[in-house]
Structure 1
Amino acid sequence: MSIGITDEHEELAASLRKWAASLGTIEATRAAEGRVDERFDEIWSAVEEMGVAAIAVPESAGGGGGTVLDQAVALEACAYELAPGGLLAAATGAAVTGRPGRHAVQARQGGIVWDGGTSGETEPVAGIDLSARHGAATDRGEVDERLRRTAVTLAAAEASGVARWCLDTAVEYAKVREQFGRPIGSFQAIKHLCAEMLETAEAVTAAAWDAACAADAGDDEQWAFAVDVAQSVCFDGAVDVAKSCIQVLGGIGFTFEHDAHLYLRRAVSLRALVGPADDAAARLTAAAVTGVRRRVDVDLGGLDEPVRPEVRSTAERIAALPAADQRAELVETGYLMPHWPAPYGLGADAVTQVVIDQELARAGVTRPDLVIAGWAVPTILQHGTDAQRDRFVRPSLLGELTWCQLFSEPGSGSDLASLRTKAVRTEGGWLLSGQKVWSSVAERADWAICLARTDPDAPQHKGITYFLVDMRSDGIDVRPLREITGEALFNEVFLDEVFVPDECVVAEPGDGWRLARTTLANERVAMASARLGKSVERAVELAVAGLGPVENVRVGHAVALATVCGLLGVRTTLRAIGGHGPGAESSVAKLLGVRSRQSASALVVELQGDAVAAVGEIERAVDGLAADVWEMLNTRCLSIAGGTTQILRNVAGERILGLPR
């Protein structure tokens, strides 16, 4: 996905990308090869005539009257086609001065002047980015903070455009380049490399988008925070994606004739111009220890006005009830799971869901987590019988029924379709026999959703049926599995001819695989929390107590990644509000979220030095180092549970990027 989420921004980006491709910047860059060439003047005249650099300048001053976000969308699209490097400096200067024209922009103290040519600078020359001309600054005074933030904000947009081109180029090549008789994109190593490029590109885009949004919002503290997130993420990210593009291209990518190196050069130049990511990370830590977090307010464009008064009134009424009575009222009003169909939810659209989230949070009402019921009940709602809905849905919402999941088996983890638990027809139902594993809360669950093979002769995905199993049935043996934390959170479950009546089959025999995908894919529109996640917040807490400069930088990078994970969720929500299905953000969010939680929990332990070697019993620890060690060990499961990271990257490569199997 590009920076622009709305239809208008997508149209703007498409139009400008087509225009930028017609400029011939790459051809002029190759022809000049470091020399000042008159064709660059011709290109720049076209840029000025189009007014691209003045989109954020008021109309009264001769500009486009747009927002910083509009300008960022335009710069990303132009960078995708490697429009001349001077465009960034001109756009930055125009946004700061409020007037169009070519501006020299000093990137940082003692640094470089972007596209020099004004008095006080040396003669501009070509640098590593062959499409731009820069000169060394003679004035080494402090850079105006608004100028710095604007420069980083718009440079981040260019970094997103560079990353997008590199990702698209690598993926298209991987689809058609053959080795050993197959497209190289079908090889897992290439597929994973492209999926990792997608993760990084989405992070870059989200951070660039947010910096531009924050610039328009007018809150200097929030803009500063968003800019530091962008500086921490976008420029190293764009360089990494450009390097990976060349890696996927192989030898052809290393040639001067291929355009890939021009994009790598632009990415490296952008990174040099804005300054070190570590500086921004240190500032993020300093802000975080004072309580600053990124708060993204979703602009509903007035669509919330018809529903907000009633939602606010209902939320306040629920909040006024005793805590023990609030859950029942959440169920009664449909506010517990508003996206579910009536009478169990509201069948709420995306806007109403966001408003309910906002107003419940404002009123201080916390909705209980349905855990596995949140997966099981949507399947029953969509595919079950009326009798099944009457029997299971409302009691599950009220917390009267606890569910577990009997999907995974010792030999069928990510490869769920290869499961071997069998169900044999008997009078009035089925007899289930087999072994399931990694089932949380099975030791206290009332019911389970269970997949079993009812037709051993059918293809793997065809002969599976979806059962609802009473966990108190004869023949069920639940045995705890002790994990690396020392505790037993999971279980293995043995089924020995467990009887399941026909009324507990969901849909028809053989429909199990289709229904399982409903269970695993169920999502709702939700607002992201301003909190950074348990371990990142703990790292900030340690920074408050006092860390060294190197450690503070590491904490800042953790803050940046956690913030980006939240931004991906916000962008998914905004797309839903705009009537679009989930984009790449929703899939990438899990991959980046796992990385964030695992790396942050490991960082927290590392920050406490050699004390970890003598930490005491961690199983029942509730705070301190012992609890931190427990969290670090426990998060190891995140890259395994619910599909391993490697499988998810295969899925992202095939379903999002279109790489061959």
Structure 2
Amino acid sequence: MPIGISDDHSELATTVRKWAESQGSIAAVRAAETDPSALEPWGALPAEMGLTSIALPESVGGGGGSLLDQAVAVEAAGYALVPGPFLTTVVAGLMYDDAEIRAGIAEGTITVGLGVSPLGIIGAGASTHVSVPTAEGHVLVPADRAEILPGESVDLTRRVAEVRVGDVSGLPTYAGAGAPLELVVLAAAEASGIARWCLDVAVDYAKVREQFGKKIGAFQAVKHLCAEMLEVSESVTAAAWDAAEAFEVGGEQARFAAAVAATTCFDGAVEVAKNCIQVLGGIGFTFEHDSHLYLRRAIALRAALGDTGAFAAELSAVAASGVRRSGDIDFGGLDEQFRADAVAEAQRIGGLPEAEQRLALADSGFLTPHWPAPFGLGAGPVQQLVIDQELEAAGVERPDLVIGAWAAPTILEGGTDEQRERWVRPTLTGEITWCQLFSEPGAGSDLASLRMKAERTDGGWLLTGQKVWNSIAERADWGVCLARTDAEAKPHAGITYFVVDMKAAGIDVRPLRELTGEALFNEVFFDNVFVPDDCVIGEINGGWRLAVTTLANERVAMAGSKLGESVELSIDLLDEVSAPSAPEKIGRAIALAQVVKLLAMRSTLRSIAGQGPGAESSVAKLVGVRNRQDSAELAMELLGPEMFTTSERALAANDLFLRNRCLSIAGGTTQILRNVAGERILGLPRG
């Protein structure tokens, strides 16, 4: 999914891409190999479309839009590989608060080359002005007042030069050394466009290219490579989007988000571009294919912005000062119809004794507002988020339903009225606890291969077999269980969904000790366990559908400001660690943790906008697992010899590292989820 979420942004991106293609952006780049003048029209062309001034004030001929509006256009231009000084001209217009300069940029008479080092000014030699870094910041110099020494760039779409200047008194200036935020934000947007083009081209090729009698996208190695490209490109897009959003807020929020983008986007675009060529194979290594042009643009863009490790180190310093990215949502007024009632009810519940709050949450529907009445409110995304906000403001914490959060919705979906009354409300009030009895020793991610059998008997069924990886089975009152009721049917078709009394005769629960040394899971053995007919949910042999579907009105939530236990511990350790690489490593962990939150936020915003789920929710699981596992390992590394002590943080880091190993296995292994992402999101063929 591109940076823009709204319909207006989608339309803008489509318009920019179609315009660039109609103007022959890539054809001009190829023509410039023998005729450098082929790129000259691209100085003024974007201005003629109003693309250089989207975020400039209307008083100078600009569009008066936000930086996010401009980022959407820059991303689309990156996708279409718009050549020349477009990016740098847009950035200069935002940097220099000079009405004459901005008016010239808006009308196309002024173009600007720009860089963070005098040795590599992008667009110099093809622009009317150059923005040159100085000790105090940056200065905008007319090209005829500077000495421009043409350089050599791997990027064939933009000229680069060394620029030397003399007296710069009286010229427009921009305070602040290093890479300007405006440049970081919009370069990140361009990186998103590059990554997205590379992903699309690789996936399209994998769908049609045949080897060994089948489409190469059917091979798991290629499918996983494309899925990994999806993970990276979505991460790049999310970070670029948030940097543009935060820029309008300014201050430390803008600095934090820009550092996340710089740490994530430029490396990410290079990685996706390299993997695109890998998927394309031999054709990707030819000069005739366009993929190398995108790889060249990506690697040059990263070089132009500077060491991404330095941005990561800066991010760790900002985070260590206490800054976190707020997750506030702009509802655009859609929350007003729910706000007053939510405030009143949340404050009423918050005023009750803590022992009475759970019952009040259940009675009000605030415990599970996304569930249908009478157990919830049938709330859509906006109402859910408003309730979340007001409960937090009132200091009310919802109890965790644990497995009940999965079991009860299935009963709501497929059960009878009597079954809903019997099990759903007691789940909400905490009277009953659930476990899940799905996985078997030979059926983990592949549940369709489960072998537990259920045989007909008077008044119900007899279940025989073994389940495994069953958390809290040792204390659960009830379990939701899948068993095979028709051995002759196709694997998915012969399964029925049961509710099992965990105190029934014939059930043997045995603790299963994990690598942490604890026994959080169990094996559960069934020996002719009787399950009455009124404990069958839905139709006989219809259990698979119930197992893989949930309520249509899905739960949405806001991401908090915390970055996760391991990342927060690493930030706390920053001042204690002397290793020179520590700030960069911590910064990269912060950036990845923030990207996970941003993916969730974008998914929530899509829900608010009434759009179907995008790729973010699926990618968030994959990226989130990597974030939590890697950050736990980093915390151990930073603690060093303290890991061999019994300090509270050493014990916590040890436990997190060991416990988090299950994350890439539970709920579907990372490898299986990448297959799913490749097939269901990217549309690659099955193997």
Question: Smaller-chain TM-score range?
Answer: over 0.9
Judged with a 3 Å threshold, the aligned counterparts in structure 2 of structure 1 residues 322 and 137 are, in CA distance, closer, same or farther, namely farther
What is the distance in 1 between the residues matched to 2:554 and 2:531?
Answer: 29
What is the deviation of 1:157?
0.4
User: How big is the alpha-carbon RMSD for the aligned residues of Structure 1 and Structure 2?
Assistant: 1.8
Q: 1:283 deviation in Å?
A: 1.0
Equivalent residue, structure 1, for 2:243: 211
Give 1:571's aligned amino acid: R
Distance 1:545 1:125, change over 3 A: closer
Partner of 2:204: 172
TM-score, structure 2 as length reference: 0.92
Shift of the alpha carbon at 1:544? 4.2
Partner Cα separation in structure 2 for residue 533 and residue 123 of structure 1: 49
Alpha-carbon distance between aligned partners in 2 of 1:69 and 1:270, rounded to the nearest angstrom: 20
Shift of 1:220: 1.4
Q: Distance in 1 between matches of 2:86 and 2:642?
A: 52
Matched, 1:350 2:381: yes
Q: CA deviation at 1:307?
A: 1.3
Contact 1:92–1:105, Cα closer than 8 Å, also in 2: no
Indicate yes or no: 2:21 matched with 1:21: yes
Matches within 5 A, 1:305-344: 305-344=336-375
Q: Deviations over 1:142-162 (max 9, x none)?
A: 973697100000000000000
Distance 2:246 2:147 in 1: 32
Change (3 A) 1:91 1:206: same
Check 1:563–1:547 CA distance in 2 against 1; reply closer, same or farther (3 A cut): farther
Deviation at 1:569, TM superposition (A): 0.6
* Aligned pairs (5 A) from 1:26-175: 26-33=26-33, 37-97=36-96, 99-100=102-103, 101=105, 102-109=110-117, 111-117=119-125, 118=143, 119-125=145-151, 127-138=153-164, 144=176, 148-175=180-207
- 1:647 lines up with 2:646 in the alignment: no
Unaligned runs of 5+ in 1: none
1:511 aligns with 2:542: yes
- Structure 1: distance between partners of 2:69 and 2:150: 29
- TM-superposed deviation, 1:59: 1.2
Paired position in structure 1 for 2:531: 500
Q: CA deviation at 1:575?
A: 0.3
For residues 588-614 of structure 1, the C-alpha deviation after alignment (integer angstroms, 9 at most, x for no partner) is 0000000000000010001112343x3
Residue by residue, what CA displacement relative to the aligned partner does 1:447-494 show, whole Å, maximum 9, x if unpaired? 000000000000000000000001000000000011111000100000
State the partner residue of 1:4.
4
The answer to whether residue 307 in structure 2 is matched with residue 276 in structure 1 is yes
The runs of 5 or more residues in structure 2 that have no matched partner are 126-142, 167-172
Change in Cα spacing, 1:600 to 1:522, as seen in structure 2 (3 Å) is farther
C-alpha deviation, 1:15, in angstroms:
1.1
The SS at the match of 1:474 is coil
Paired residues for 1:410-429 under 5 Å: 410-429=441-460
Distance in 2 (alpha carbons) for counterparts of 1:23 and 1:527: 42
SS at match of 1:39: helix
Q: How does 1:574-589 map to 2 (within 5 A)?
A: 574-589=605-620
Match in the other structure for 2:136 = none
- Please give the secondary structure, in 2, of the residue aligned with 1:483: coil
Query: In 2, are the aligned partners of 1:282 and 1:549 still within 8 Å (CA)?
Result: no
Change (3 A) 1:407 1:331: same
What are the Cα deviations for residues 548-567 of structure 1, in whole angstroms up to 9, with x where unaligned? Answer: 33111101100000000000
Give the superposition deviation at 1:523: 4.3
TM alignment of 1:514-553, pairs within 5 A: 514-518=545-549, 523-553=554-584
Q: Is the 8 A contact 2:116 2:179 kept in 1?
A: no
Matched, 1:474 2:505: yes
Letter in 1 for 2:673: L
Residues matched between the structures, number: 653
**Alignment match, 1:359:** 390
SS at match of 2:336: coil
| Contact 2:567/2:631 (<8 A) preserved | yes
* C-alpha spacing 1:221/1:53, structure 2 compared with 1 (3 Å): same
Inter-CA distance 297–121: structure 2 relative to 1 (3 Å threshold): farther
Counterparts of 2:233 and 2:669 in 1: how far apart (Å)?
A: 21
Tell me the SS of whatever aligns to 2:628.
helix
Code of the aligned partner of 2:661: R
The answer to whether structure 1 residue 385 and structure 2 residue 416 are counterparts is yes
Larger mean CA deviation between 495-504 and 15-24 belongs to 15-24
Q: Distance in 2 between matches of 1:491 and 1:522?
A: 32
Would you say the 8 A contact 1:113–1:121 is kept in 2? no
More deviation in 118-127 or 66-75? Answer: 118-127
CA distance in 2, matches of 1:121, 1:243: 36
Instruction: Report SS of the residue matched to 2:581.
Output: helix
Q: Distance in 2 between matches of 1:568 and 1:105?
A: 33
Measure how far apart 1:139 and its partner are: 5.9
Closer, same or farther: CA 392–574 of 1 in aligned 2, 3 Å: same
Report the AA paired with residue 681 of structure 2: I
CA apart distance, 1:311: 0.7
Preserved CA contact (<8 Å) 1:94 1:103: no
Report if aligned partners of 2:273, 2:295 keep a CA contact under 8 Å in 1. Answer: yes
- State the Cα deviation string for residues 420-461 of structure 1 (Å, max 9, x = none): 000000000000000000000000000000000000000000
Q: Quick check: 2:327–2:558 contact (8 Å CA) kept in 1?
A: no
Tell me, in whole angstroms, the C-alpha distance in 2 between the residues paired with 1:97 and 1:143: 10
1:268-307 aligned at under 5 Å gives the runs 268-307=299-338
CA apart distance, 1:138? 3.0
Alpha-carbon distance in 2 for matches of 1:482, 1:400? 28
SS at match of 2:379: coil
Which residue identity is paired with 2:115?
A: A
Percent identical pairs in the alignment equals 59
Residues 607-618 of structure 1 correspond to what in structure 2 (within 5 A)?
A: 607-612=638-643, 614-615=644-645
| Kept after mapping to 2: 8 A contact 1:423/1:432 | yes
Show the counterpart of 1:262.
293
The superposition leaves residues 389-440 of structure 1 with CA deviations (integer Å, 9 ceiling, x where unpaired) of 0000111011111100000000000111000000000000000000000000
Q: Give how far 1:39 is off.
A: 2.3
Contact conserved, 2:460 with 2:532, CA < 8 A, in 1?
yes
Summarize the Cα distance change of 1:378–1:475 in structure 2 as closer, same or farther, 3 Å threshold. Answer: same
What SS class does the counterpart of residue 54 from structure 1 fall into?
coil
Name 1:194's counterpart in structure 2.
226
- Determine if the alignment matches structure 1 residue 232 to structure 2 residue 273: no
Mark the CA change 1:227 to 1:8 in structure 2 (over 3 Å): closer, same or farther.
same
Q: 2:603, 2:617 within 8 Å by CA — same for their partners in 1? A: yes
Equivalent position amino acid for 2:85 in 1: G
In 1, Cα distance between equivalents of 2:354 and 2:85 = 60
SS at match of 2:469: coil
**Amino acid of the residue matched to residue 262 of structure 1?**
L
Distance 1:110 1:399, change over 3 A: farther
